Structure 1
Amino acid sequence: MTPVTTRTFAADPAGLEAAAEALRDGGLVAFPTETVYGLGVDARNSDAVARLYQAKGRPSFNPLIVHVASFEAAEALVEFDATSRDLAQAFWPGALTLVLPLKEGAGISPLVTAGLATLAVRMPDHAVAQGLLAAFDGPVAAPSANPSGQVSPTTFAHVKNQMTGRIDGILDGGVCGVGLESTIVAARPVPTLLRAGGVPAEAIEAALGGALATPSDRVDDTAAPTSPGQLSSHYAPKGQVRLNVDHPAPDETLLGFGPVEAPLNLSPSGDLVEAAAALFDALHRLNEMGAEKIAVSPIPAHGLGRAINDRLQRAAAPRPEGSGAPA
Structure 2
Amino acid sequence: METKYWLVDKDVDSLATYPQIKEAAALLRENQVVAFPTETVYGLGANATSEEASSKIFAAKGRPADNPLIVHIADREQLDDLTASIPEQAERLMEAFWPGPLTIIFMKKDQALARQVTAGLETVAVRMPDHPVALAVISEAGLPIAAPSANRSGKPSPTSAKHVQADLDGLIAGIVDGGETGVGLESTVIDCTGKIPVILRPGGVTKEELEQVVGEVGLDPALKDELEKPKSPGMKYQHYAPDAPMYLVEGSREWIQELIHQQRKLGKKVGLLTTEEQMSFYQADVILPCGSESKLETVARSLYEVLRAFNESDVDMILSETFPYEGVGSAIMNRLEKAAGHRWLRE
TM-score normalised to the size of structure 2? Answer: 0.86
Q: How big is each residue's C-alpha offset from its partner over 1:264-300, in whole Å with a ceiling of 9 and x where there is no partner?
A: 1112453101110000000111111122211111211
Q: Compute the displacement of 1:232 (Å).
A: 4.4
- For 1:89, the equivalent position in structure 2 comes to 95
- For 2:190, the equivalent position in structure 1 comes to 185
Q: Compute the displacement of 1:104 (Å).
A: 2.4
Q: Whole-Å Cα distance in 1 between the matches of residues 289 and 322 of structure 2?
A: 12
Q: Compute the displacement of 1:173 (Å).
A: 0.6
Q: Which has the greater radius of gyration? A: 2
Q: Give structure 2 stretches of 5+ with no counterpart.
A: 9-14, 265-269
- For 1:130, the equivalent position in structure 2 comes to 135
> Match of 2:235, SS?
coil
Of the three residues 256, 278, 283, the one matched with 1:260 is 278
- For 2:267, the equivalent position in structure 1 comes to none
21-30 vs 290-299, which moves further: 290-299
The answer on 1:55 being equivalent to 2:52 is no
Q: Whole-Å Cα distance in 2 between the matches of residues 237 and 50 of structure 1?
A: 26
Q: How big is each residue's C-alpha offset from its partner over 1:118-169, in whole Å with a ceiling of 9 and x where there is no partner?
A: 0000000000001101111110000000000011000011011111011110
Aligned residues: 311
One-letter amino acid matched to 1:267: G
Of the three residues 5, 30, 34, the one matched with 2:2 is 5
- Structure 1 ranges of 4+ moved more than 3 A: 222-225
The answer on 1:35 being equivalent to 2:35 is no
Q: Whole-Å Cα distance in 1 between the matches of residues 41 and 301 of structure 2?
A: 10
Q: Give structure 1 stretches of 5+ with no counterpart.
A: 320-327
Q: Whole-Å Cα distance in 1 between the matches of residues 211 and 53 of structure 2?
A: 37
- For 1:325, the equivalent position in structure 2 comes to none
> Match of 2:312, SS?
helix
Kept in 1: contact 2:273–2:290 (CA 8 A): yes
The answer on 1:167 being equivalent to 2:172 is yes
Of the three residues 205, 222, 225, the one matched with 1:199 is 205
112-121 vs 223-232, which moves further: 223-232
One-letter amino acid matched to 1:10: L
- Percent of aligned positions with the same letter in both sequences? 40
Kept in 2: contact 1:253–1:293 (CA 8 A): yes
Q: Whole-Å Cα distance in 1 between the matches of residues 35 and 229 of structure 2?
A: 27
Q: How big is each residue's C-alpha offset from its partner over 1:150-195, in whole Å with a ceiling of 9 and x where there is no partner?
A: 1100001101111101111000111000000000000121200100
Following superposition of structure 1 onto structure 2, how do residues 1-327 of structure 1 map, counting pairs within 5 Å? 4-11=1-8, 12=15, 13-78=18-83, 79-105=85-111, 107-189=112-194, 190-210=196-216, 212-216=217-221, 224-245=229-250, 246=253, 247-248=256-257, 249-250=260-261, 251=264, 252-257=270-275, 259-261=277-279, 263-317=287-341
Q: Whole-Å Cα distance in 2 between the matches of residues 272 and 225 of structure 1?
A: 25
Q: Compute the displacement of 1:69 (Å).
A: 0.4
Kept in 2: contact 1:28–1:169 (CA 8 A): yes
RMSD: 1.8
Q: Whole-Å Cα distance in 1 between the matches of residues 313 and 230 of structure 2?
A: 33
Kept in 2: contact 1:154–1:280 (CA 8 A): yes
